[in-house]
Amino acid sequence: MTSSSHLHPLDEALQLAASAPGQYQGQTHPGYWNMVGPFGGITAATLLQAVMQHPDRLGEPLSLTVNYAGALAAGPFSVQATPVRTNRSTQHWTLSILQAGADGAQVVTTTATAVTAARRETWSVSDLPMPSVQPPAQHATVPPQVGTIEWLNRYEMRPIAGFIPEAWDGSGDHSLSQLWMRDAPPRPLDFCALAALADLFFPRVWLRRARHVPAGTVSITVYFHASSAQLQATGTGYLLGQARGQEFRNGFFDQTVQLWNEAGLMLATSHQIVYFKE
């Protein structure tokens, strides 16, 4: 799992070496570091990568649910991916990430489930069309970030509405954000990259309250609506992301996300539950 200069940072972070059937070894990547551990999106992408590499996989990703039991420490970790049942058109997976604790024993930091499916062409329609917004070139790019939250520099973000509050003064009155986004440097879209992009938004409670309170994702589910061919057609283009909180109560809130490509095709949706402190 040595780094190679010709690899995109995301591909470096997603390198997994098979050590036994359904078991892989990985290494945290400093380029995707958050405040106390890796960016949650890269953790989700790593779990999905284990499914994508598994020789027994059926079809393409349909859903991924990741439960963040604890933060990964910098260093090596192992991923377990098990197809627990395979039907005619769907396959169900259990996944986990383990890392050596202070006493050397392996500790589970993350659990997950996934479903892959062999899709077929049927009647299809979208009941949530892409919002009408100006194209990416009409919106300024967020400048590079200097500090400990390095993962922000792995993405090009062009906010449209509802970005991080300019003043943390408690004056927030909504939780809706919209922005154009893609990997930086640009990288052809695939399912693992899409899983990470679904977790790109900052906690909705920051916008709704305009207060910089501690917050972190407890569980996220990503639903994949696009095929690999549709992701390939998206290429290195931008995605329009929209996020909104729905209910903030007793230390937790939920957050919904939709992701469209520039052609207006919805690629993925996600839903997560997040804790916050006063």
For residues 262 and 238, the answer to whether their CB atoms sit within 8 Å is: yes
**Residue 236 exposed, middle or buried by CB count within 10 Å (0-12, 13-18, 19+):** exposed
Q: Which residue reads 């062999």 in tokens? A: 118
pTM over 0.85? The answer is yes
The fraction of the chain above a pLDDT of 90, given in percent, is 92
Other CB atoms closer than 10 Å to residue 106's CB: what's the count?
12
Q: What is the tens place of the pLDDT at every residue in 251-263?
A: 999 999 999 999 9
| Pairing relationship of beta strands 252-261 and 215-224 according to DSSP bridges | unpaired
Q: What is the tens place of the pLDDT at every residue in 18-55?
A: 999 999 999 999 999 998 899 999 999 999 999 999 99
Domains of the chain (ranges, CATH numbers): 9-117 (2.40.160.210), 155-276 (2.40.160.210)
2 vs 119: which has the higher pLDDT:
119
For residues 24 and 17, the answer to whether their CB atoms sit within 8 Å is: yes
Residue 1 has pLDDT above 90, yes or no: no
The fraction of the chain above a pLDDT of 70, given in percent, is 98
Two structure tokens written together for 32: 């995707």
Two structure tokens written together for 10: 């995301």
C-alpha 147/C-alpha 167 separation (Å) is 20
Q: What is the tens place of the pLDDT at every residue in 209-267?
A: 999 999 999 999 999 999 999 999 999 999 999 999 999 999 999 999 999 999 999 99
| Mean pLDDT confidence for 183-206 | 98
| Pairing relationship of beta strands 252-261 and 266-276 according to DSSP bridges | antiparallel
Confidence of residue 269 (pLDDT cuts 50, 70, 90): very high
Q: Given 3-state DSSP classes, what are the helix, strand and coil percentages for the chain, each rounded to the nearest 5?
A: 20, 40, 40
Q: What is the mean pLDDT of the chain?
A: 95
